[in-house]
Structure 1
Amino acid sequence: MNGLFHLHAVDYFIIIVYFAFALIIGFMLRKYTKTGKDFFLSGRALPTWITGIAFMSANLGATELIGMSAGGAEYGMIQVHFYWIGAIPAMIFMGLYMMPFYYASRARSVPEYLKLRFNEATRGVNAIAFGAMTLLVSGISLYSMGLLFKTLLGWSLTGSIILSAAIVLVYVALGGLTSSIFNEVTQFFLIVLGILPVTIIGLIHLGGWNGLVAKLPDGFTHAWSSLGSNHNALGTNWLGVVLGLGFVTSFAYWTIDFLVVQRAFAAKSQRAAQVTPIFASFIKMFIPAINIMVGLIALAVFPHIGHGTMSYNLALPALLAKYYPVGLVGLGVTALMASFMSGMAGNISAFTTVWTYDIYQAYIKKDATDAHYVWMGRVATIAGVVLAVLFSYIATGFPSIMDYMQTLFSFFNAPIFGVFLLGMFWKRMTPWGGFWGLVSGIAFAFIFYFFIPIHFATPNAGNFWRSWWVWVVTTGVGILVSLVTKPKPVEELKGIVLGVGKYRSYKGYAWYKRPGVLGILSLVIFVILNIIFW
């Protein structure tokens, strides 16, 4: 079968070098991965710039590059809300207000924090829900890669899935979280080097920004101006975007999803852990330059994209094929491979930690040696990859991969966020308030999706409003149950709830080392970008 690209020897050489490099990192780090703390948390010894890039890169998977470039071509700059209001405020909040509690608790995972704040039952529900979601999202990454390389290179779907799964399996099983993080950092730079030239070449070809705007439909370069009503690409107004995406969906992902939070847990100090998501926010704001901007350029270059045989999903691949010569094509394809493997590796390493500590150690084998849990972590890595391969075919039942992912997040992340927000900032929240709030939120998410016949203009609008109402139900049930049940003694909440214990100050540190100053600076840039592209 022929694909969109025809690779030459030098292109295959670049791809092989990348695969070899990923495996070598795993083998080199294996000797430094002896304890559970090393394997699951990188020894809590990594510097901010590494954890910050990894924090952001774990989210920069295949669905981000392919899905968001497709969204840019189909919807325009309105798609940028997923990066700006849908990420930046939550990342800053995570660093300033939530990370101190995480780090002070010395929890090894998000479910373990829930055990400390609430009880074992709440931890168990969260661990099982997170494990299921993580494997399903890993399957999405695998399926996306297999489908893309079948289209681009003519490779078989199953062969592509198995190859990438095998590479991720080896380097994560050998080096644990450290291996995953170092590969994510490498993958980030590879993605930028492989994809950013498309934006630059495309803008030059079209005559700069003004030339691009002249070839796009009216309003396609604005993010907010069309949100006065539901008649826009997102199918919802500014209130749905702010409440559903900017508040619930965004905060639920960036503050409590262990896939990204685990990277901050690996930081070498509390200050480094707090700065990690804030550092990542500076990078996150400019990621649209390598995906959404690519979609706009694709629409200008291929005016008939989205019609006939050319899918919006081919926005980025089509531009790679048009602009890149031999060698650079190999770099672009390798960048796409790196994005797929980055997303999957992040999910697998998070699943491995939660399975080992929050399910296996908590309920199956409580008193084993540290070496035994490292062994179980490697076994869980193998099992997780195998299950992800099997789950990858579930994605075939959804018309849009991005819609599938957002649906999963509304099912699992939104209710967990409701419980976290109350638990971290309200001392009166009780263990059973947390448990029943979480259970009711997950249950309501499924009921809302499958049994409440509400029609939304777009899947995005449905996910935004579903997330909002799931959060409302979770919060309401959590408060009501807490008012009639007994809270934990205040001494058990020290360091893990606002107002119980001393909040650390960084007064006297240089400005660029202070989380508060960096958070304000990031917020200012965020506001400026939204004004520019209003």
Structure 2
Amino acid sequence: MSSGLFDLGFIDYVIIAAYFIFVLTIGFMLRKHTQTGEDFFLSGRALPTWITGIAFMSANLGATEILGMSAGGAEYGMIQAHFYWIGAIPAMVFMGLYMMPFYYASRARSVPEYLKLRFNEATRGVNAIAFAGMTILVAGIGLYSMGIIFRAILGWSLTESIFLSAIIVLVYVTLGGLTSSIFNEVTQFFLICLGILPVVIIGLYSLGGWDGLVDKIPEGFSHAWGDLGTTDNSLGASWIGVVLGLGFVTSFAYWTTDFLVVQRAFAAKNLRSAQMTPIFASFIKMFIPAITILVGLVALAVFPDIGTNGTSYNMALPLLISEYYPIGMVGLGITALMASFMSGMAGNISAFTTVWTYDIYQAYIKKDAPDSHYVWMGRAATVGGVALAIATSYMAASFPSIMDYMQTLFSFVNAPIFGVFLLGMFWKRMTPWGGFWALVSGITFAFIFYFLLPVEFPTPNAGNFWRAWWVWVVTTVVGIVVSLFTTPKPEKELKGIVLGAGKYRSYKGFVWYKRPGVLGIISLALFVLINIIFW
């Protein structure tokens, strides 16, 4: 029934079909609960921490992440885990403890809207346009990735794969809005655990456990920090580049300002739940390498010629599924991949829809329409966003590396906005025009650095790390200089949205496991322990 890598049985097709029916059913069931703008775009700000926490983490766990990081594990080893550990955990904890109170107190419906409240309309407009464009490009990457993988493993054509997933996402996001996306992200997480984790366990068992795996992979592939004393490693960057470029700028820029993930915390039922959302997610994020990096290491041990015999590293996970899974389990593994592809795309589309509707359409095209009109526009924007994503999916085919393409996009948009946020949230003297010119200068310098400056880096990863660092430096310097020569907002307009301009919420009366600060410390302690173990 298939001309691809797998010969699927009847039960496999039943499992795949059942998933499609399930996600469509969620969309239809949630339609009656998405009548207002806050329902459609922010899930009514009523979801519990465990749901928003899983969604916060899962929004970043698309199939490009699973396949790309599995490929990275096979090609580079445990050093790739920096994207999960130093490249995520500190930023997620910082987001929950120090940035989420300002976001939530502002009652902003999006990250660009917060920028309007903190700075001015011009700053909001620049960020909204840049972010909307980036989300469409990233959604297109997800569609293209799904197309090339399912062409290989199921024999489907690129166009069939792209249009099928696009139609499914279009239906359930149009009907259920953000709530539909979030519930599918939660479903995706459990499907990934059920569909992919067993292949790691089976693979490790067949290799004789961790020690047996280490014996069959190149020396140093089981360590994360050991080779970072110089740039002579697979990342092409020393520890200082990893710490500054990835651990500070790129990580914090993504996890604290990218509306794709921040939107999930906005949907929480109260401030404490919103703060707990990224902290709860950090505990899960720490162990995601078990279903990404370890997949690549096991694949390298089982298929030592991968990457050198015409077989792409991107096929690490599909090859293991084909090797170890019987009929029925294959369907579950394929469904997990499908869920991650479509969930990642849905997250980008729902974020695009919110920013387009509130920060572009309402702000500049139709300001005073009733709430029902903006819900209608949100659904129309979903259709338009999916159509644009289909178009950009073919653009992604022109880039040799999907993961490098994504990291480059993030350095263009997220690094400058992080510089603006860091100054804006923690320095009352930052002025509206300081924020605007800092953001414009950062984005402009990112393009100049990438396209015009003749700087050679050992690897694309090293280039992205250092570009992000210098873009942040330029953004910060411009923001400070312009602010010193322009007029700040009165402190009364900054109440609750800037450090020192309002009272900070305390949770001293709560039990320890309900206090964001305590859980944040525990998360950071585990983060340090894991890095020591895999040093």
- Tell whether the structures are fold-level matches, with TM greater than 0.5: yes
- 1:340-355 counterparts in 2 under 5 A? 340-355=341-356
d(CA) in 1 for partners of 2:333 and 2:412?
A: 34
Indicate yes or no: 2:294 matched with 1:279.
Answer: no
Structure 1: which 5+ runs fail to align?
none
| Number of the residue aligned with 1:517 | 518
Q: Once the 2 structures are TM-superposed, how far is the Cα of residue 308 of structure 1 from its aligned partner?
A: 1.8
- 1:368-379 counterparts in 2 under 5 A? 368-379=369-380
| Number of the residue aligned with 2:246 | 245
Which deviates the most, 303-312 or 223-232? 303-312
What SS does the corresponding residue of 2:476 show, helix, strand or coil?
helix
| Number of the residue aligned with 2:63 | 62
Residues 277-299 of structure 1 show CA distances to partners (whole Å, capped at 9, x for unaligned) of: 00000000000000100100000
| Number of the residue aligned with 1:222 | 223
- 1:126-525 counterparts in 2 under 5 A? 126-525=127-526
d(CA) in 2 for partners of 1:399 and 1:457?
A: 16
d(CA) in 2 for partners of 1:434 and 1:132?
A: 20
| Number of the residue aligned with 1:531 | 532
What SS does the corresponding residue of 1:457 show, helix, strand or coil?
coil
What SS does the corresponding residue of 1:31 show, helix, strand or coil?
helix
What SS does the corresponding residue of 1:476 show, helix, strand or coil?
helix
Residues 229-279 of structure 1 show CA distances to partners (whole Å, capped at 9, x for unaligned) of: 000000010000000000000000000000000000000000000000000
d(CA) in 1 for partners of 2:161 and 2:252?
A: 34
d(CA) in 1 for partners of 2:162 and 2:189?
A: 21
Residues 466-517 of structure 1 show CA distances to partners (whole Å, capped at 9, x for unaligned) of: 0000000000000000000000000000000001100000001011100000
Q: Output the aligned Cα RMSD.
A: 0.5
d(CA) in 2 for partners of 1:32 and 1:217?
A: 53
d(CA) in 2 for partners of 1:190 and 1:275?
A: 24
d(CA) in 2 for partners of 1:397 and 1:239?
A: 32
Aligned residue identity for 2:69: M
d(CA) in 2 for partners of 1:124 and 1:265?
A: 20
TM-score (norm 2): 0.99
Q: Once the 2 structures are TM-superposed, how far is the Cα of residue 2 of structure 1 from its aligned partner?
A: 2.1
Aligned residue identity for 1:375: W
Q: Once the 2 structures are TM-superposed, how far is the Cα of residue 393 of structure 1 from its aligned partner?
A: 0.8
d(CA) in 2 for partners of 1:415 and 1:291?
A: 29
What SS does the corresponding residue of 1:221 show, helix, strand or coil?
coil
d(CA) in 1 for partners of 2:9 and 2:59?
A: 30
Q: Once the 2 structures are TM-superposed, how far is the Cα of residue 311 of structure 1 from its aligned partner?
A: 1.0
d(CA) in 2 for partners of 1:452 and 1:192?
A: 44
What SS does the corresponding residue of 2:381 show, helix, strand or coil?
helix
d(CA) in 1 for partners of 2:9 and 2:157?
A: 19
d(CA) in 1 for partners of 2:377 and 2:126?
A: 21
Identity %, equivalent residues = 80
Aligned residue identity for 1:152: I
d(CA) in 1 for partners of 2:105 and 2:372?
A: 25
What SS does the corresponding residue of 2:231 show, helix, strand or coil?
coil
Aligned residue identity for 2:163: I
Residues 43-78 of structure 1 show CA distances to partners (whole Å, capped at 9, x for unaligned) of: 000000000000000000011110000000000000
d(CA) in 2 for partners of 1:45 and 1:523?
A: 28
Structure 2: which 5+ runs fail to align?
none
